[in-house]
A and B are shown apart, each in its own frame.
Chain A
Amino acid sequence: MSFISTISSWMIPLIILIVLISASWKKLPSYELFVEGGKEGIQMAFSLLPFLLGMMVSIAILRGSGALDAFISMLSPLLQAFGVPPDIVPLSIIRPISGTAALGMTTELINTHGPDSFIGRLASTMQGSTDTTLYIITVYFGAVGIRRMGDALKVGLLADLIGIIASIVIVTIVFAR
């Protein structure tokens, strides 16, 4: 596994190396191109701000009021009936909605149950194998001005659901309880 962490730390410097060598080889004005492309980034960050802020505030109101917790505890018995461990329920519901909240919950679960416990492993797998659908849709569609998003949200949330079920099944098979 140390092989994998070596790859990930070499990755970015290697990309930079390859890009700059091939650009210089083709006698391109690499620095000027970098600056030109980078300027787009500033604009992009600012145009993203209202999309992110709007979505994050709305999620915060839902969480802050306690409505989200109430919803989760309402849903818990149902999910437990399907064999979902109760401690993991909040994480599986928050994961598609808010990345920072999910990361906080995973840390919390690992802290209380220990990283090598069943819950700890399950939270780790779930955190790694799903993504914050609402954030991705907000950022990607917001940045390019897509207003009608078709089936994107439905497809994304269904994929999350399957990812969560898959995590539970696989961790149960691999590590047993």
Chain B
Amino acid sequence: MKFWQKIYLFSFLVFVIIFNAASIMVIERSHNKMLGQEINNVLSQNMSIHSSVDAIVPILRIYDSIDYEKTVLTSIANEFVAKNSDEHVYMEITNDTNQMIFSNTDFTMPTHREELDNLDIDEINYILRDIDQHTILFTSNITNINNKRYVFTYMKDVTPLYQDRLDQYGFFVRVDLAACFLYMLIMLFVSRGLTKPINQLNRTAQVIAQGGFSERVRLKSKDEIGVLARNFNDMASVVENTINELERHNQEKQRFINNFTHELKTPLTSIIGYTNFLRTTKYNEERFLDGLNIIYSEGKRLESLSFKLMDLIMLQEDHFQMEEHDMGAVIAEIEPALEMMAKEKQVLIITDCEEGKLQLDKDLIKILIFNLVDNALKASAEQQSIMLRTYWRDGRYILEVIDQGIGISKEHGDKIFEPFYMADKARTRSYNGAGLGLSICQSVASIHNAVIEVGSKENQGTTIGVIFDQIGPKGGMNS
């Protein structure tokens, strides 16, 4: 059963039960009250008969004649009956020998009269009896006249009261039906309206479940469902972000694998191709030497790739020797090697270092600097120079490698740190590059709690700054 149907059905059931019970109670109470009043009326009538009779008892004592008593009592009874003639009142007077003295009843009196059973003198008892589809209120008292007991029974037909109650019920049933119908109609809209936001949530959840992660619930209400919707939306955005993140990671990974296989298979294709060519074709000295040169250089390329990959893998592991070293001294140590590298291309290396003691892994920092200078060399033309400088600024130590080379265009800017990314394949290839350099630099930098900033203008040069901020969690410099 749907939720709105449950609300609808249960509220309707509760309404029917309470409304009916309340109405019945009201009807019954008013009926009982009317009945009580009627009983009181009849009892007071009976009392007044009783007191009338009492008033004439002394006179009756004087005569002490049954016939006279009978005549007097009959006349009193007639008077009362006449006085209340418009109402259905009956009177019966019997004496202790059960002889009828007066009766105007138009129905047969019951043979057994429980109300008389323990009746004392000067006491009035009453009882309601159903006789021939009429409900008659019997009130009885016993009066002693001349040592004879007379039973006065004053009766009133109270059927109209019951008829009234019946009419009330009849009316009530009509009102009840109308109210129920109205209630059903209103509750139908109310329960549907209340559960509408839930349906909306439901539909959105289905859309999200089918992969529409950007779907959101549009609900502005401030009740619990509104809160639920907001929480639901929050949850959906977290899920969406996570999925996007995963997707991005996945694509990155796929790119890495694609690039890696490409980097691996290209030299392999050459090596296998040339060796097979040389061994299956007729010897030709020029071709033979050419081929061997290519096999050699492609083999070197594979070697370089495997070293770089090892560097990258090593950086993923977690045992580094972080010790305090002076960056200037580290640079001075590797300067001869860098100059050798640059000499081949007739590029000048200028260093300008401020002293800076930092927590470093010396070997990793050397790899970082080698890679940055290597990149700068690849971008530079002959006779240009590469500046390597370090300085303090705002409590941070900055290492910069500045070249005057071809620069990096904007389209490549955000991707250059991805493994195997190469802005210009043809250029880097010819220098045995695999596009891993900056990835390695990035890893080294993050191990040292440093960030790499790239500033570049096409054909004017590139500045790569490594900003060491060791006041952070890994800081040890100020201690």
Report whether chain A binds chain B: no
